[in-house]
Amino acid sequence: MPDAPTEYTVPLGSRRARADKVLAAAFPEHSRVAWQRALCAGLVAADGIAISQADSVSAGQRITFSFPQTEPLALRPVSIPLDVVFEDEHLLAINKASGMVVHPGAATGEDTLVHALLAHCAGQLSGIGGVERPGIVHRLDRETSGLMLAAKTDAAHRGLSEQFAERRVFKEYLALVSGRPQLLSGVVKSPIGRNPNHRHKMAVVPPEKGGKPAHTDWDLVEGFRDWAALMRCTIHTGRTHQIRVHLHSLGHPLLGDAVYGWSLKKMPLPVEISETPARVMLHSEHLAFTHPVTGASLDLRAELPRDMRALIEQLRGVCR
C-alpha cells in the first residue's frame, strides 16, 4: 500500500512548470526518480485530478501526493561484521576488508558488502530507485581495503553521488609499491582506457583511442632502500584501476599486483621477508566530504589493515 497522502500548495508567484520539477524543488529529500514513480503510479493529483509526468502545475494549485511502497531487494540480509568508521541516520562509512566484493554478481556468494549492509541497516533504508537497498556511490576492487561510503536515504544518495561526480570528495590512498621513486612527489595525468589487447585490464591510452582524463598526485611516505616504497596517492578522477595503472606507468607497480606488472621473480623482496604479498597492497585511507544532508564537514580515516602493517614492519626491520 502507498503512504498516506501529503498536501502541498504551489506558492503564489511560482511560474508554471512540470510537476516533478516543482515537487523535487519543494521536497529535496525525495529524488526526481521517486517523484516520477509516484506520478506514473497515479499517486499525484492537482486539485483532486490525477496528473502525469507531462503535466505542469501553477501557483495556488493544491497538490496531494504519496509514494508507492518500497519493494524489498531480492537478496537475503546476511549478518557480516563490519568495521564502521562513521554512521548516522543518513549514511555510513566502513573500513572495507580486503577480499570483500562490493556488489553481488554471477560469481559471488552471499558475502558481499551489499548483503552485509542489508543486515546492518535493517529497517533504516529508503527506497532508492523504488527498491530497498544501500546506496553505494563508489567502488573499491575486491582486494583493495579501506573507506567506502553508503547512503541510507534518497537525499544522502543523491548528495553523495553529486559530490563524487563533481569531484568534490577528497580521496587519498596508501600504496606499497615495488622499487623506490627517485623523486619525493609527482603528478600523473596520463589518460586511461581499456587495454586494447586485454579487455579485462585498463591501460594508459591516448584520448583519440578512447582514453579518458585521469589525474593522480603522489607523495613518497617512506622508502625501503630500492626494494619497495610506501606512497600516498590523491586521486582527482575515479577511473577504473587508476592508481594501479598510473603507478605501473611510473615503473612502480603495486606489490601483489600481478595484473599490472608486479612479479616476485622479477622484483624480488629481501629474503628476510617471511610472507610475500597475497593481494594488491592498496588501501583507501582518507575521505573528506560535505555531509549531504546536514552540510557538516566530514574528515574520515581508516587504519591500515594488518597485512599491510605487517609487511611494512618487516621491510623496516630489514632496512635498519
Classify 42 in phi/psi space as left (phi over 0), alpha (psi -120 to 50) or beta: left
Catalytic residue among 55, 88, 111, 141: 141
What's the pLDDT score for residue 27?
A: 81
User: What residue ranges do the domains of the chain occupy?
Assistant: 6-65, 71-165, 170-288+300-319
47 CB burial (10 A radius; 0-12, 13-18, 19+): exposed
The correct answer on CATH 3.40.50.300 for the domain covering 6-65 is no
Lowest mean pLDDT: which of 111-125, 127-141, 167-181, 204-218? 127-141
- Count CB-CB contacts under 10 A for residue 309: 12
What is each CA distance from 60 to 23, 26, 187, 246, 291, in whole angstroms?
14, 14, 56, 57, 34
- Class for domain 170-288+300-319, per CATH? alpha beta
The pLDDT tens digits of the residues spanning 19-72 come to 888 888 888 767 666 777 777 777 888 888 888 877 889 999 998 888 776 555
The CATH superfamily holding the domain 71-165 is Pseudouridine synthase (3.30.2350.10)
Instruction: Tell me the three state secondary structure of residue 307.
Output: helix
- In this chain, the answer to whether the domains covering 71-165 and 170-288+300-319 adopt an identical fold is yes
- Catalytic-residue membership of 219: no
The pLDDT tens digits of the residues spanning 249-308 come to 999 999 999 999 998 888 888 888 877 898 999 999 999 999 999 999 999 999 999 999
Give the cell for residue 19.
Answer: 510537476
Lowest mean pLDDT: which of 113-122, 202-211, 225-234, 240-249? 113-122
What's the pLDDT score for residue 123?
A: 67
Confidence of residue 166 (pLDDT cuts 50, 70, 90): very high
What's the pLDDT score for residue 255?
A: 96
Buried b (16+ CB within 10 A) or exposed e, 226-263: ebbbbbbbbbeeebebbbbbbbbbbebbbbbbebbbbe
Q: Are 308 and 95 in contact (CB under 8 A)?
A: no
Question: Does residue 75 surpass a pLDDT of 80?
Answer: no
Report the pLDDT averaged over residues 141-170: 90
The pLDDT tens digits of the residues spanning 82-114 come to 999 999 999 999 999 998 888 776 566 777 888
Question: Does residue 132 surpass a pLDDT of 50?
Answer: no
What's the pLDDT score for residue 106?
A: 56
- pTM for this one? 0.77
Of 141, 127, 9, whose CA–CA distance to 68 is shortest?
A: 127
